[in-house]
Amino acid sequence: MASSSSSGLTFKLHPLVILNISDHYTRVKSQSHSAAASDGADSSPPPPTRVLGCVIGVQRGRTVEIFNSFELLYDPSTHSLDRPFLEKKQELYKKVFPNFYILGWYSTGSDAQESDMHIHKALMDINESPVYVLLNPSINRAQKDLPITIYESELHVIDGIPQLIFVQATYTIETVEAERISVDHVAHLKQSDGGSAATQLAAHLTGTHSAIKMLNSRIRVLQHYLLSMQKGEIPCENSLLRQVSSLLRRLPTIESERFRDDFLMEYNDTLLVSYLAMFTNCSSTMNELVDKFNTAYERHSRRGGRTAFI
């Protein structure tokens, strides 16, 4: 494996991919430990847990952005993938995310293995230059960087024989606002001294609330001062009035017609996205139900001589 990539591609990785891989690994490891415990204490320990899946996203020029991922079925004895399952998942994701393409695959482990190249080559009929995202699940408290490595494949001549090898590529973490809030809530969830759940996001929102509360109290002081000045209870100071006028000009105008139109447009767009997400989930669930019904009805029709009607 070479030290670094020479392709010049820029990789952007979204936190959702890291969470999906971690969740996949945790579920499989928990299930394997439960199965080992049910077999008895005398059974041999299970092999190290390893999971595989595909990463999807978009490529714009020399920039590759990885948005999401899904799991794959893999046979370790033959180093082969379940192609029908992969094609089915690809078809479903295409319906929801038509602009996303399979960019490569992911796995878990401390380093890339020789058998990984078999899986890598198996995906080259979908993407001629797939990427390999590797998550190291082992805990290293001294490590400050994320335990994620992205590999590319390059053709090198070794001992006069051209061979595909993995080369490490650099990447950056790319997030959107909704991702940042949700990932921060999940990743930094911990117990405070009082025993209640506290996050950095909660602390940030508390600080923002305190700042808004203080601003409101200062505005009330100014309002009370101006009312007193208007009633003649205190002398009028033109220099102070100019400062208050300058301060008010800095405040955003939220009662204008333009603000109301922009706010309603953004609010309607948010509702529309929520409705589309709901319809997409309903359509996906309905498709799965129809597929299951057709499968069950087809088995019944083979015995009774009837045909499926969906």
- Give how many domains the chain has, as a whole number: 1
**How many CB atoms within 10 Å of residue 80?**
13
Within a domain: residue 25? yes
Within a domain: residue 235? no
pLDDT for residue 98 is more than 60: yes
pLDDT for residue 205 is more than 90: no
CATH code for the domain in which residue 76 is found: 3.40.140.10
The CA radius of gyration of the chain, in Å to the nearest whole number, is 29
Pick the closest to residue 61 from 11, 115, 136, 5 (CA basis).
11
Within a domain: residue 57? yes
Within a domain: residue 111? yes
Higher pLDDT, 104 or 48: 104
According to the model, what pLDDT value does residue 76 have? 73
According to the model, what pLDDT value does residue 186 have? 64
According to the model, what pLDDT value does residue 197 have? 46
According to the model, what pLDDT value does residue 291 have? 84
Mean of pLDDT values over 256-270: 82
Mean of pLDDT values over 277-282: 87
Return d(Cα 259, Cα 93) in angstroms, integer: 37
With a CB cutoff of 8 Å and minimum separation 6, the contacts of 303 are none
Within a domain: residue 247? no
Residue 82's domain comprises 10-35+48-173
pLDDT for residue 183 is more than 60: yes
**DSSP-derived secondary structure for 266-287:** HHHHHHHHHHHHHHHHHHHHHH
Return d(Cα 129, Cα 64) in angstroms, integer: 12
Q: How distant, in Å, are the alpha carbons of 177, 266, 269, 284 from that of 273?
A: 15, 11, 6, 16
Within a domain: residue 295? no
Could you tell me if 104 and 53 are in contact, meaning their C-beta atoms sit under 8 angstroms apart? no
User: What letter would DSSP give residue 43?
Assistant: S
With cut-offs at 50, 70 and 90, classify the pLDDT of residue 266. Answer: confident
Within a domain: residue 147? yes
According to the model, what pLDDT value does residue 194 have? 47
pLDDT in tens, 117-133: 888 888 888 888 899 99
Written as six digits, the tokens of 268 are 């309607």
User: For residue 293, which amino acid is it?
Assistant: F
Within a domain: residue 272? no
According to the model, what pLDDT value does residue 48 have? 65
User: For residue 99, which amino acid is it?
Assistant: N
Mean of pLDDT values over 87-104: 88
Predicted TM-score (pTM) of this structure: 0.56
Range from 37-51, 67-81, 186-200, 290-304 that averages highest in pLDDT = 67-81
Rounded to 10°, the helix 83-96/257-304 angle is 150
